[in-house]
Structure 1
């Protein structure tokens, strides 16, 4: 085989590989935040607000395949909802409430009972505040 043709094939293969790699880099970030609202409740808060909520959830739980439901407006710029994520065994662990403040991109998921057993545990105060906000804003 002619060395010139072989170099041309190698250069072409390298160019195709780089092109594919560049395209996958562009597509991956978009796909990573491809969560959807399972029950259509995103219509209650508007598509733009739903996108913000889904992006915040994706930042925190992307690898846990979050399922979002029950979105609803609360007081001011607050949004309430439920999220279900996979546990270490790859099973969904059950819906838990969350709050989002659209004015400052705050997301907080309501802590589970065991997370609130030790008031001296790191992050306890923040979890308790999220729980209080959820009960104030989201419980009917």
Structure 2
């Protein structure tokens, strides 16, 4: 009897997900954790969160410290979960909305030993841009 009830529950869940009643597989839950999105407006906040979602493999990224900088750049910090599921600590980022470009400031090990496919010069450009425009 319990097996039949369990099978019926699984079938109902599968049908609900297939009918679009459950969360979509590509749903992202990036959030602005400190309310700083109010300073750049809802449209730009949404655009920043979309770029974060597309560029980082973290469905629960926490964005903070959003602010405008020179040249139409938006600066901020983002904290993502590591492989163990723990937040790894906030890191700066820059977004150029006009070009739909996102760059997270690399940490030391990333610069010393980039992962396959990562461009060390591009990471250094992001780092320099962040230091020039985003640090007060």
State which of 17, 30, 37 in structure 2 corresponds to 1:42. Answer: 37
SS at match of 2:20: helix
Work out the CA distance in 2 between the residues paired with 1:117 and 1:35: 29
Displacement over 3 Å in runs of 4+: none
State which of 2, 17, 21 in structure 1 corresponds to 2:18. Answer: 21
| Higher share of residues assigned helix | 1
Name 1:131's counterpart in structure 2.
127
Work out the CA distance in 2 between the residues paired with 1:22 and 1:49: 32
Q: How many residues align?
A: 123
Please identify the structure whose Cα radius of gyration is greater. 1
* Structure 1: unaligned runs, 5 residues or longer: 1-12
Name 1:100's counterpart in structure 2.
95
Report Cα offsets for 1:35-78 as digits up to 9, x if no partner. 22000000011010000000010112253521100000011221
Q: Offset at 1:20?
A: 4.9
The TM-score, its normalising length taken from structure 1, stands at 0.77
Contact 2:95 2:101 in 1 (8 A): yes
State which of 41, 45, 58 in structure 2 corresponds to 1:63. Answer: 58
Report Cα offsets for 1:89-134 as digits up to 9, x if no partner. 1111110000000101100000001112259x85110100000110
Cα RMSD for the two superposed structures: 2.6
Work out the CA distance in 2 between the residues paired with 1:74 and 1:137: 6
Q: Offset at 1:34?
A: 3.1
* Structure 2: unaligned runs, 5 residues or longer: 1-10
Contact 1:64 1:87 in 2 (8 A): no
SS at match of 2:71: coil
Structure 1's 64 and 28: CA in aligned 2 closer, same or farther, altered over 3 A? closer
Contact 1:32 1:58 in 2 (8 A): no
